[in-house]
Amino acid sequence: MNFLFKDLFGVFKFVEDIYDRIRKILVPKQAYAWQTLIYLSVFSWALSYFAVGIIRDVIAVCGWLFLIAGTAWYTTDDPLRVPGTFMPVGAVITGFLVSVFAFGNQQDVITPRTIVLWPTISALITAIPEFIEGTDTSSKAQIPKPEARQKIIILVASCMILSCWLQFYYVMDNWLKEYPSVLSDNFQRSTFVRRTDLIVEKVPRNGVLILDKLQPLVEQQIDGKPWSQVERWLENAQVNVNNLGKTVIQKNIGQYEESQVWRVESRVDNLKASGYRLNLLSIWRGPTSRRQGYYLAKSCRVDPVAISNKKVITSTNPEDKIAVGEIQCDRVTKFVAAPPPPR
């Protein structure tokens, strides 16, 4: 029975200790405390929920300011330093809140700009106390001591470099998203970009897509049409293919910035035997490690075919047959690491 009372007493003591600790955190000893600012921020956000228009924005801004001030106060009472620096962990937390408040938005609270400026803002917050001398009630501005100036310069400069690297990461990430064909290039000598053959194709996917979507449109213009009309179309193939290519690019890869650096052209060769060879080219005009650039090509054979009643005949009488165009394109798109052939 005594053991039972001891166990219950131990449990009650444990619960009481937890309650006391929580009470010390939540209940301030005086009105002028960091808890007051946190409660004001919560109260402001609650009020902003019921407000509208500019009043709601003003109250929300006040809530953010109270939260930042309360967090900064709490984390500087007994500062824990970032290992290897004199930057308090509280400055890192406060810097994050300031960055979110200044550069976030309602749709995306955490934006790339928020992450990029976070280290620099944290460093500036760490340096601010070095320019202030005095107590909470009486203070004045001062020039930091010589030994403090060096620490401030090194800390701020290091954090700015870190911000630059973060910005570089987001620039590269956005660039590769808007220009996915760049990933097909050779990055073996790059210090900043790493790739694996499992996720990166050696042939630009969008270049192949352009020609695959262009092929049926060209076939519709040629296949089964009178041969005289086909020859006139081939004479103006450069303009015709270019117009079709613009439509294909806008429809299929218009969401990428790289749609501006793809160009579709054609080359027509008159075969000695009969017919023509039509080469469809998707030319990359964007950045590449290849000095001469590259293009993708799909070759099509265009021949006249004699038909009568929509059936091929072998009659030698010209009056019994009509010549129409027939086109056959290669299934495989060729990748050529060279400038496109002359027109």
**Domain identity same for 35 and 155:** yes
Residue 276 above 60 pLDDT?
Answer: yes
CB 11 within 8 A of CB 27: no
**Domain identity same for 220 and 114:** no
**Domain identity same for 135 and 20:** yes
> How far is Cα 181 from Cα 186, in angstroms, rounded to an integer?
11
Using DSSP bridges, classify how beta strands 311-312 and 294-308 pair: parallel, antiparallel or unpaired.
antiparallel
Say if 113 falls within a structural domain: yes
Say if 326 falls within a structural domain: yes
**Domain identity same for 234 and 110:** no
Segment among 2-6, 154-158, 223-227 with least mean pLDDT: 2-6
Residue 299 above 50 pLDDT?
Answer: yes
Residue carrying the six token digits 């709601």: 56
**Domain identity same for 218 and 147:** no
**Domain identity same for 255 and 124:** no
Say if 182 falls within a structural domain: no
Query: pLDDT tens for residues 117-143?
Result: 999 998 888 888 777 776 656 667 778
**Domain identity same for 169 and 263:** no
Residue 23 above 70 pLDDT?
Answer: no
pTM of the predicted model, to two decimals?
0.64
Query: pLDDT tens for residues 62-117?
Result: 888 888 888 777 766 656 677 666 677 788 888 888 888 888 776 777 888 899 99
CA atoms within 13 A on the CB side of 43: 7
pLDDT band at residue 315 under the 50/70/90 scheme: very low
Query: pLDDT tens for residues 192-241?
Result: 665 544 344 467 888 999 999 999 999 999 988 898 899 999 999 999 99
**Domain identity same for 70 and 150:** yes
Q: What is the pLDDT of residue 219?
A: 92
Tokens of 173: 């990430």
Number of domains within the chain? 2
pLDDT above 90 coverage of the chain, percent:
22
CB 55 within 8 A of CB 93: no
pLDDT band at residue 58 under the 50/70/90 scheme: confident
Domain finish residue from 162, 177, 192: 177
Domain finish residue from 177, 195, 220: 177
Domain span at residue 291? 205-336
Q: What is the pLDDT of residue 314?
A: 47
Say if 196 falls within a structural domain: no
pLDDT band at residue 187 under the 50/70/90 scheme: low
Instruction: Tell me which of 305 and 26 has the higher pLDDT.
Output: 305
Q: What is the pLDDT of residue 40?
A: 82
Domain finish residue from 177, 195, 217: 177
